[in-house]
Amino acid sequence: MVNIIQSIILELRPCFSRKAAFHWFIIIILAFIIRCDHEGVTSFIRWLFINPDSYDPMLRFFRATSWNLETLLGYWVKIAIDRYPLIMFNGRPLLIGDGIKISKEAKKMPGVKSLHQDSENSGKAKYIFGHHFGYVGLLVGGLTKAFCLPLQGQLHEGVETIHPEKGLNGKPATLVTRMANLVVEKAKQTGFLCYVTLDAYFAVGPAFLIFKAALNEKGEQLVHLIARAKSNYVGYSKPCANQKRFQEKDKINLIDIFNSPELFKEVELTIYGEVKTIKYYFLHLLWRPTKDFINFVWIIDGDGHYILMCSDLKLSAPEIITIYSYRFKIEVMFLVLKHLLGGFCYHFWTKAFPKLKRGEKLTLSSFSESEQKKVRRTVEAIERFVNLAGIALGLLQYLSLTQTSLIWGSYYGWLRTCSSGFPSERVVQSVVRAEFFSPLSKVPICRTLQLIFQRRRGSPLYLAM
């Protein structure tokens, strides 16, 4: 398994100007997969049995100038398109975007701020101090197993002065515009026209307008958005040729459509891996925020009622419902990234960061040039850590999709229930971990293992066997 991981990692060599930085990259990616606890960089040292003298060089790697995160992630997208089995809809891959809030109470860590959490989960506090990441992934796999492959995560709150970005029409950037711009950037890197599915928070005018303005060389809209509409939205029926748009008599309260059950049709669809019978109704309506037509779909799923909206008027209602049903895959990705790989268990900080009062915003202009540089490097180190964990997760997903028989043949654990024929990321991780900790006589020595062995602090028990 390590050989297969190495073959993919080697494709990223052009992203590093120094050989030493690339070597640390290889070691850290494998460490994310191998380690058995999530106590930051120290766990990399501990579980790879690396000499403690390597701790400081490993920390410096995350702030190094010998590699650029944007360049690395651009290459990663190319690998995703070339190597992974993509799930396509009308010839378009599906991007999935969402945000995740991570609790952090450090006072010297840039980007930490008070965050509000909307959740019915009793384990989540209403307000936390922490980081808010926006993440975009790519749907890969097949009909029986699908993954959300991590493409890029960015800090989207608390970094306005560190990562200034313009929103719609030159206005300050918002969470919505930052996510939309990130999606457009990833879509351009894929080289495809794409669909993207987002939750109801992003179903607002600025997101649709940013996607509408993003065109390829042929003048085609690069990204079409499928999102869940909010219950208080209204649409307008098409006016007559000599009438103005958005007249009160043409207004339709979307939620009122559910009061006319005779309009709905039944259809069987595969949703969440199960064949379900649902009722739907669809209509093209004018939407005031975009001043254009939107494809609205009303769905009755048992006792559940919800409305979807799509900017692609050519998609049928069943296609829109099917595409949106994959949105939950990014929630699974967050779960695995957070709890299996510890992708958010970092603690990068800098003395240059001031102690801010509650509600106070960071003003970099009052800092010296060296202090500004330290703050920016710290933010970059945080984003690098999270995105390298995403790459490590992507490698586990690749092994699951392409080495299924080999993984199951090497797995000696026990599962009470197998959800599909493809192994989960946890199963793949356990197989790679077992290979790494097995006697050397049973493991083919590759360049990756040699790099680790050269930095060993001693001989673990199995090396003496």
The average confidence (pLDDT) of the chain is 88
Q: What is the DSSP letter of 360?
A: P
Pairing of strands 304-310, 127-141: unpaired
Question: 426-446: per-residue pLDDT in tens?
Answer: 999 999 998 888 765 455 666
Residue in 278, 273, 33, 316 with CA at minimum distance from that of residue 141: 273
Which residues neighbour 231 within 8 Å (Cβ) at sequence distance 6 or greater? 254, 255, 307
Question: 114-164: per-residue pLDDT in tens?
Answer: 888 877 676 777 888 889 999 999 999 987 889 999 999 999 988 887 777
User: What percent of the chain is modeled with pLDDT above 70?
Assistant: 91
Confidence of residue 178 (pLDDT cuts 50, 70, 90): very high
Question: 65-108: per-residue pLDDT in tens?
Answer: 999 999 999 999 999 999 999 999 999 999 999 999 998 887 78
Pairing of strands 194-198, 127-141: unpaired
CA separation, residue 127 to residues 101, 131, 347, 390 (Å): 10, 12, 21, 26
Question: 11-64: per-residue pLDDT in tens?
Answer: 999 999 999 999 999 999 999 999 999 988 999 999 988 888 889 999 999 999
- Measured between its terminal Cα atoms, the distance across the chain in Å is 22
Q: Could you give the 3-state DSSP secondary structure of residue 268?
A: strand
Domains of the chain, each with CATH number or no CATH:
2-66+343-357+377-464 (no CATH), 86-338 (3.90.350.10)
Q: Could you give the 3-state DSSP secondary structure of residue 307?
A: strand
Question: 41-51: per-residue pLDDT in tens?
Answer: 999 999 988 88
Mean pLDDT throughout 307-311?
Answer: 96
List own/partner pairs for 264-270 with CB under 8 A and 24 or more apart.
264/298, 264/300, 267/317, 267/318, 269/318, 269/321, 269/322, 269/325, 270/143, 270/322
pLDDT score of 464? 38
pLDDT score of 242? 60
Q: What is the DSSP letter of 337?
A: I
pLDDT score of 240? 65
Interatomic CA distance for residues 315 and 227, integer angstroms: 13
pLDDT score of 243? 66
